[in-house]
Amino acid sequence: MTQKQRLRTYERFMHAMSMHVVTMNQDKIRQGVMLIDSWSYAHRVGNGELGPRAQQQCVDNVVRKMESYA
């Protein structure tokens, strides 16, 4: 995934989260917050024991989930 694709995914995700906040869709807000938490965890998982490639795969898995969030 390129940086441009990743940025586009983050932008779409944030806009979707914003709309769910406006409409007070608590289930989707909760799902979005859990994705954010997973994204954060993926950046620190393994406490440095994972190699850069394995670490990036963890992050990419969460970003793919963000892509399908609507």
pLDDT in tens, 38-51: 999 998 886 778 88
In angstroms, the CA 45 to CA 31 distance is: 20
pLDDT at 47 (0 to 100): 73
Ranges under pLDDT 50 in the chain = none
pLDDT at 64 (0 to 100): 95
pLDDT at 33 (0 to 100): 97
What tokens were used for 33? Answer: 């917050």
pLDDT at 24 (0 to 100): 96
Contact 11, 64 (CB under 8 A): no
pLDDT at 60 (0 to 100): 93
pTM of this structure: 0.86
